[in-house]
């Protein structure tokens, strides 16, 4: 009985032309790969890594992210997928989850996966039996945003380069930030001046259409029409700069004048609570016919502006009235079962206020708001870019804040994106709703926009 002949795969058939020279490049020790969405840098890296341990005797590779908890669903999964792309069988490898490593049975070569949460993570990866030929740092931006940046990268290089007399490579993968002054971009500018460093940038236009599918191309073109600045950043990977106004894509056409809300589902209220600062409740729901999230009503009171500070119990009574108003609005004309507000998302620091509400409104479902500001802003921006979020003309303070909500310009010039802590109370309440209902709201977007950058 003869076994089936193994299919021969050409690397040129599974790696885009821009990345093909990297396969046999021993001139450049440092290889920086950046791209926009669907630029295939991750798949190219995974194929090159698998090819290394299959073809090069006495070799090991290390693939690293800043934090362990992001490895399994990203680079680990991509490297396993690359085994199939190379025409190899998974049975030829030992694919381990704990510890997370992949071993090629024929020669014992290993790919290790690790985080860089502490210096011990990297020191413990030194392979005494095989030379570490390749180190991959995925999402290098995280090493700058959440680590020690260039110093940490230099320490990683120093840990693994020793003992390699013939060749050693380091790959750095990232999607460029908006800001060309961001620390990682300053690092890239320094690195590319070195003769042993090469920087290759790709975007989806460098990839054969049949690899990506027409739907993905359509999604890119859809964003190009909706928001050219967002398109150039997300899809082309350009440092387009950060507009000082956070929601620069908001237009007056995104203000609605409706009063009939009985079609809304996934109705929720975002709450931002303050003592001297403003307290605001912002109610939204998803219109299942128009496929748009719509604002319903708002409550706003500022002790600083009015000169009258309310107690937590007063605010709780105001919330109860607001809650009942929203329930009435979504039930006008409803002849079936009474429809309820699905959830209330409250600033996690306002635990005492949440307890006051619960005391006088025991049936309410209160959820601590997800306060991941950067992710939340990006999600709201997407909703606005594709006109999937509209604000009621009665949400006057929210509308006012949209134009006033800005990034700190001084920090932008230094490469850091941080919003000013002013004119942000309604912005926070709106963001709490979007974050809390994201599993539903993201379905309003093109499929390529449902994840996070």
In three-state form (DSSP H/G/I as H, E/B as E, the rest C), the secondary structure along 169-192 is: EEEEEECCCCCCCCHHHHHHHHHC
Q: Which fold has domain 252-449?
A: Nucleotidyltransferase; domain 5 (3.30.420)
Other Cβ atoms within 10 Å of 316 Cβ, number: 19
Q: Which two tokens stand for residue 131?
A: 């030379």
243-265 burial, b at 16+ Cβ within 10 Å, e below that, comes to eeebbbbbeeebbbeeeebeebe
pLDDT in tens, the chain (453 residues): 344 555 678 898 999 999 999 999 989 999 999 999 999 999 999 999 999 999 999 999 999 999 888 888 899 999 999 999 999 999 999 999 888 999 999 999 999 999 887 655 555 566 667 889 999 999 999 999 888 899 999 999 988 887 777 789 999 999 999 888 889 999 999 999 999 999 999 999 999 999 999 999 999 999 999 899 999 999 999 998 878 999 999 999 999 999 999 999 999 999 999 877 899 999 999 998 999 999 999 999 998 787 888 999 999 999 999 999 999 999 988 777 889 999 999 988 899 999 999 999 999 999 999 999 999 999 999 999 999 999 999 999 999 999 899 999 888 877 788 999 888 999 999 999 999 999 999 999 998 898 886
For every residue of 365-379, DSSP letters joined together read -EEE----HHHHHHH
- 3-state DSSP call for residue 409? helix
Alpha-carbon dihedral angle through residues 257, 262, 267, 268, given to the nearest 10 degrees: 60
Q: Omega of the bond prior to 99 within 30 degrees of 0, cis?
A: yes
Strand order in the sheet with 366-368: 255-256, 389-392, 292-302, 278-287, 264-272, 343-346, 366-368
Spatial contact of 376 and 434, defined as CB atoms under 8 Å apart: yes
Query: By CB neighbour count within 10 A (0-12 exposed, 13-18 middle, 19+ buried), where does 222 fall?
Result: middle
Report how far residue 84's alpha carbon sits from residue 82's, in angstroms, rounded to the nearest whole number.
Answer: 5
- pTM of structure: 0.77
The domain segmentation of the chain, as residue ranges, is 11-212, 252-449
Q: Cα angle vertex 234, ends 372, 427, to 5°?
A: 35
Report, at the CATH architecture level, how domain 11-212 is classified: 3-Layer(aba) Sandwich (3.40)
Query: By CB neighbour count within 10 A (0-12 exposed, 13-18 middle, 19+ buried), where does 413 fall?
Result: exposed
């Amino acid at each position: 009985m003869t076994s089936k002949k193994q299919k021969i795969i050409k690397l040129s058939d599974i790696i885009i032309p821009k990345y093909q020279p990297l396969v046999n490049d021993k001139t450049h020790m440092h290889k920086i790969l950046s791209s926009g969405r669907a630029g295939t840098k991750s798949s190219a890296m995974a194929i090159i890594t698998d090819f290394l341990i299959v073809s090069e005797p006495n070799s090991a590779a290390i693939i690293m992210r800043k934090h362990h908890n992001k490895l399994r669903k990203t680079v680990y999964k991509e490297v396993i997928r690359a085994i199939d792309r190379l025409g190899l069988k998974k049975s030829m490898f030992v694919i381990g989850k704990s510890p997370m490593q992949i071993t090629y049975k024929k020669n014992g070569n290993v790919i290790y996966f690790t985080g860089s949460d502490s210096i011990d993570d990297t020191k413990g990866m030194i392979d005494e039996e095989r030379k570490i030929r390749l180190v991959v740092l995925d999402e290098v931006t995280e090493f700058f945003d959440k680590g020690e940046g260039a110093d940490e990268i230099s320490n990683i290089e120093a840990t693994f380069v020793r003992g390699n007399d013939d060749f050693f490579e380091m790959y750095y993968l990232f999607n460029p930030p908006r800001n060309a002054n961001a620390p990682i971009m300053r690092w890239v500018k320094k690195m590319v001046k070195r003769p042993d460093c090469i920087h290759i940038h790709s975007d989806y236009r460098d990839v054969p259409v049949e690899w990506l599918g027409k739907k993905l191309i359509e999604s890119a073109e859809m964003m190009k029409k909706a928001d050219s600045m967002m398109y150039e950043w997300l899809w082309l990977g350009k440092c387009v700069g950060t507009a000082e106004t956070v929601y620069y894509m908001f237009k007056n056409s995104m203000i609605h004048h409706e009063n009939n809300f009985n079609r809304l589902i996934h109705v929720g209220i975002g709450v931002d609570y303050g003592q001297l600062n403003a307290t605001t409740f912002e109610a939204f729901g998803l219109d299942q016919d128009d496929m748009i999230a719509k604002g319903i009503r708002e409550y706003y009171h500022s002790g600083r502006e009015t000169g009258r500070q309310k107690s937590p119990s007063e605010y709780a009574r105001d919330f109860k009235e607001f809650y009942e108003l929203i329930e009435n609005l979504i039930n006008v004309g409803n002849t079936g079962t009474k429809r309820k507000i699905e959830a209330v998302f409250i600033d996690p620091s306002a635990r005492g206020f949440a307890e006051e509400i619960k005391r006088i409104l025991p049936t309410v479902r209160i959820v601590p708001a997800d306060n991941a500001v950067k992710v939340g802003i990006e999600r709201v921006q997407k909703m606005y870019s594709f006109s999937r979020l509209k604000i009621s003309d009665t949400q006057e303070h929210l509308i006012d804040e949209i134009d006033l909500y800005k990034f700190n310009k001084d920090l932008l010039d230094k490469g850091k994106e941080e919003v000013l802590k002013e004119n942000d109370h309604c912005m926070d309440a709106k963001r709490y709703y979007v974050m809390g209902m994201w599993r539903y709201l993201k379905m309003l977007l093109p499929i390529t926009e449902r994840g996070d950058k």
